[in-house]
Amino acid sequence: MRAFIFALGFLFFVGLSFARPDLFQARSKLKDVVQHYGYITVNVTMEANLFYWMFESQGNPKTDPLVLWMTGGPGCSSELALFFENGPYTVDANGNLTPNPFSWNKNANLIYIDQPVGTGFSYASSDYIHDEAQVAQEMYSFLQLFLQQYPQYAKLPFFVTGESYGGHYVPAVGAAIVQGNSNNQGLFINLQAIAIGNGWVDPYTQYGAYGTYAYAHNLIDQGTYSQMNQTYAQCQQYISQQDWDDADDTCNTLLETVLEEAGNINVYNIDLQCNPPPLCYDLSNITNYLNEPSVQQQLGVASQGITWEACSDDVNSQFGVDRLQSFSFDVPLILKAGVRVVVYSGDLDLICNWMGGYEWVTAMSWSGQTAFVNAPQVTWHVSGNSAGMAQTAQGLTFVRVYQAGHMVPHDQPANALALLANVLNNTPFK
């Protein structure tokens, strides 16, 4: 989906810690929150440095959980989520920061990471990461080094979250943590749950949902739907044969077919128009802010000479085969370790739509599959209002979030914060 940017050796790290840095203090009215940001070097040979930006909890940072957020793409910066979805600030056209009342650091210590290298402010000698094995290895290295540098967070309950291509990242990183803990490799990471938002997890299954979803929402007619089903059968065959070139050519026509008939819809929220393409949202305030010399100087990134961009085509182009592979196989391993899994999907999203999400979750082979398929679907309420549908069994939960698109925290911020609370506190969706 390229058109829609949805080995441990000797390691060292550098980082910065600031309590209400002057720059941010002057621009915002956020209460005192300790921030940490900087680089951690995860591969000396490749000069690979991952940029992170962490905000301590506005509640009790000493005991509140630690949450990692990974934006997808691949190649899209997590600063997108920070300023556009679930971070402590939004930014206006004048570069002024305004507190977000629904920030995910209300009761959690929250880390945003630019990965893989080449994404956002992260850099290396080349864009050499091209699959989830490499993503998992370098993210595991990052977490080990981060927790060494900030030991005050090392024993806190830990959660891995992400969105879109995070459907690949989150299972891969979660499985790496489970495996590392099992092997007594480095610091024990107190992983409690993973959460995947509108994730691209199992292409073999999810490609088929483009036709189903589009037809159900009157974006295509019956004839186009029938044609797409035939194309999807060929797409599945190519994926099964690992004929990646033909799979890429065939499978990607499915979304293109919908757009040819539906017109200028926003693939991330079908109730909206795409303005401007290809990302369909105006991100200029964020882009301008993060490229201000004073901001880059404060963040410690100015010396790298990086022009921040929301999504990197160079990074995205490295993941051609990875994009077609499924990472649903990591989920049973995570569940078997007693780590909960929450898959949530805004129901106005086309590109990683809830129908495909629900289908791969129910089709996934694991010890609790029968129990999950037979579990009741219940209405999830937030503040007495219907917020979605949820289904849970044996540690696995699927949530359809009503009236939200690809970026649930942007479209339904209060409900997204409530969803996070359910994940962190292991409370039922009801």
pLDDT (tens digit per residue) in 137-154: 999 999 999 999 999 999
Asked if 167 and 102 sit in the same domain, the reply is: yes
- Is residue 285 included in any domain, yes or no? no
- Is residue 284 included in any domain, yes or no? no
> How many domains, the chain?
2
- Is residue 283 included in any domain, yes or no? no
Asked whether the predicted pLDDT for residue 29 surpasses 80, the reply is no
161 alpha-carbon distance from chain centroid: 6
Asked if 104 and 66 sit in the same domain, the reply is: yes
Asked if 210 and 152 sit in the same domain, the reply is: no
- Is residue 269 included in any domain, yes or no? yes
* Domain finish residue from 234, 251, 273: 273
Query: How much is the pLDDT for 87?
Result: 97
Asked whether the predicted pLDDT for residue 277 surpasses 90, the reply is no
Asked if 178 and 260 sit in the same domain, the reply is: no
Asked if 137 and 26 sit in the same domain, the reply is: yes
Asked if 120 and 145 sit in the same domain, the reply is: yes
- Is residue 318 included in any domain, yes or no? no
* Domain finish residue from 258, 273, 288: 273
Asked whether the predicted pLDDT for residue 25 surpasses 80, the reply is no
Asked if 100 and 47 sit in the same domain, the reply is: yes
Asked if 255 and 135 sit in the same domain, the reply is: no
Asked whether the predicted pLDDT for residue 18 surpasses 80, the reply is no
Average pLDDT, the chain: 93
Q: pLDDT for 38-67, tens place per residue?
A: 999 999 999 999 999 999 999 999 999 999
Tell how strand 109-114 and strand 48-55 pair up: antiparallel
Query: Going by C-beta distance under 8 Å and a sequence separation of 6 or more, which residues neighbour residue 117?
Result: 46, 48, 49, 50, 123, 124, 127, 128, 129, 138, 315
Query: How much is the pLDDT for 254?
Result: 98
> CA-to-CA distance for 28 and 79, rounded, in angstroms?
17
- Is residue 42 included in any domain, yes or no? yes
Asked if 174 and 54 sit in the same domain, the reply is: yes
The values of phi and psi at residue 216, to 5°, are -65, -25
* Domain finish residue from 255, 273, 291: 273
Query: How much is the pLDDT for 31?
Result: 57
Q: What's the domain range around 234?
A: 205-273
Q: pLDDT for 180-220, tens place per residue?
A: 999 999 999 999 999 999 999 999 999 999 999 999 999 99
- Is residue 310 included in any domain, yes or no? no
CB atoms within 10 A of CB 376: 8
Asked if 246 and 389 sit in the same domain, the reply is: no
Asked if 156 and 251 sit in the same domain, the reply is: no
Q: pLDDT for 104-150, tens place per residue?
A: 999 999 999 999 999 999 999 999 999 999 999 999 999 999 999 99
Asked whether the predicted pLDDT for residue 23 surpasses 60, the reply is no
> CA-to-CA distance for 141 and 78, rounded, in angstroms?
18
Query: How much is the pLDDT for 278?
Result: 87
Peptide bond into 74 cis (omega under 30): yes
With CA atoms as reference, report the closest residue to 206 among 259, 165, 172, 249. Answer: 165
Whole-angstrom CA distances from 65 to 52, 57, 60, 376, 420 are: 17, 8, 9, 30, 11
Residues labelled as active-site residues: 164, 349, 406
Asked if 138 and 66 sit in the same domain, the reply is: yes
Q: pLDDT for 342-400, tens place per residue?
A: 999 999 999 999 999 999 999 999 999 999 999 999 999 999 999 999 999 999 999 99
- Is residue 31 included in any domain, yes or no? yes
The CATH number that applies at residue 111 is 3.40.50.1820
Query: Going by C-beta distance under 8 Å and a sequence separation of 6 or more, which residues neighbour residue 363?
Result: 202, 205
Asked whether the predicted pLDDT for residue 16 surpasses 50, the reply is no
